[in-house]
A and B are shown apart, each in its own frame.
Chain A
Amino acid sequence: DSGVTQTPKHLITATGQRVTLRCSPRSGDLSVYWYQQSLDQGLQFLIQYYNGEERAKGNILERFSAQQFPDLHSELNLSSLELGDSALYFCASSVVGESGELFFGEGSRLTVL
């Protein structure tokens, strides 16, 4: 158990809909990262937050947004969903930035029909 909790584990929705994925980092970890993993794109970095502030942005679509709350949990909002958004979405946390290891949650599997 990594200590990172992601909900929901599975989500099936229709195109055009909006979903919210939630992540609770390990106790004490200030950094939260979101990654998308699909069969054809591998593991793609979306966005990082550090202590409530956006720290880095990757290949995140404009239809997607995220935030980190004062209690350090994070939410990833996906809107106007398309078939191609079907993927595993992982949250990871770390104490600091690139000098430490990432602890991954078990992911949220999103299926868009």
Chain B
Amino acid sequence: SQQGEEDPQALSIQEGENATMNCSYKTSINNLQWYRQNSGRGLVHLILIRSNEREKHSGRLRVTLDTSKKSSSLLITASRAADTASYFCATPNYGQNFVFGPGTRLSVLP
């Protein structure tokens, strides 16, 4: 089945630095989504990028998609302590549901 795999598993940075997380997947997709989860809370949708898009921005978030490499990256610029969370990529699975990767745990230190 299609599955996103985030990298790194954990990332620790200082406030103000940029954080980059990567996602690799296995088969063709029509879109890829990024979600955020604060500890023990529900996932929150951040951004959706379609297969015909290469880059998308939303506030301090920048997502890229490289369909030839089957990979995506999420960049958070000027990180804040409040960005501390787990970040997941999600890919459609046979058009019926979404498959989530294991996530990247981001810690932003004040």
Binding site for B on A (CB under 8 A): 2, 4, 33, 35, 42-43, 45, 48, 55-56, 58, 88, 90, 92, 97-99, 101-107, 109
Residues on B with beta carbons closer than 8 Å to the beta carbon of A2: 42, 44
B residues bordering A, Cβ < 8 Å? 30-31, 33, 35, 40-45, 48, 88, 90, 92-103
The residues of A that contact B41 with a CB separation of less than 8 Å are 106-107
A35 vs B99: C-alpha distance in the bound complex, in angstroms?
10
Smallest Cβ-Cβ distance to B102: which chain A residue? A42
Partner of A101 from B40, B45, B93, B95 at Cβ < 8 Å: B45
- Are A98 and B31 interface neighbours, CB within 8 A? yes
Q: Determine the distance from Cα of A42 to Cα of B105 in the docked complex, in whole angstroms.
A: 12
One of B44, B48, B95, B100 near A43 (C-beta < 8 A)? B100
Q: Which residues of B contact A92 (CB under 8 A)?
A: 43
Please measure, in the bound complex, the distance between the C-alpha atom of A33 and the C-alpha atom of B33, giving whole angstroms: 16
Q: Is B88 a contact of A104 with CB atoms below 8 Å?
A: no
Q: Which residues of A contact B97 (CB under 8 A)?
A: 33, 45, 48, 55-56, 58, 97-98
**What are 17 A-to-B residue pairs whose CB atoms are below 8 Å?**
A33-B97, A35-B100, A45-B100, A58-B97, A98-B30, A98-B31, A98-B95, A98-B98, A102-B35, A102-B43, A102-B98, A103-B45, A105-B42, A106-B41, A107-B40, A107-B41, A107-B42
Nearest-Cβ distance from residue B53 to partner chain A, whole angstroms: 14
Give the residue among A88, A90, A97, A98 with the most B Cβ atoms within 10 A.
A98
Cβ-closest chain A residue relative to B41: A106
User: Chain B residue with minimal CB distance to A90?
Assistant: B42
Task: Kindly provide the distance from the CB of A82 to the nearest chain B CB, expressed in whole angstroms.
Answer: 22
What residues of chain B lie closer than 8 Å to A48, measured between beta carbons?
96-97
Known: A90-B42, A99-B30, A102-B35. 17 other contacts (CB 8 A): A2-B42, A33-B97, A42-B102, A43-B100, A45-B99, A45-B100, A55-B97, A90-B43, A92-B43, A97-B96, A97-B97, A98-B30, A98-B96, A101-B45, A101-B48, A102-B90, A104-B35
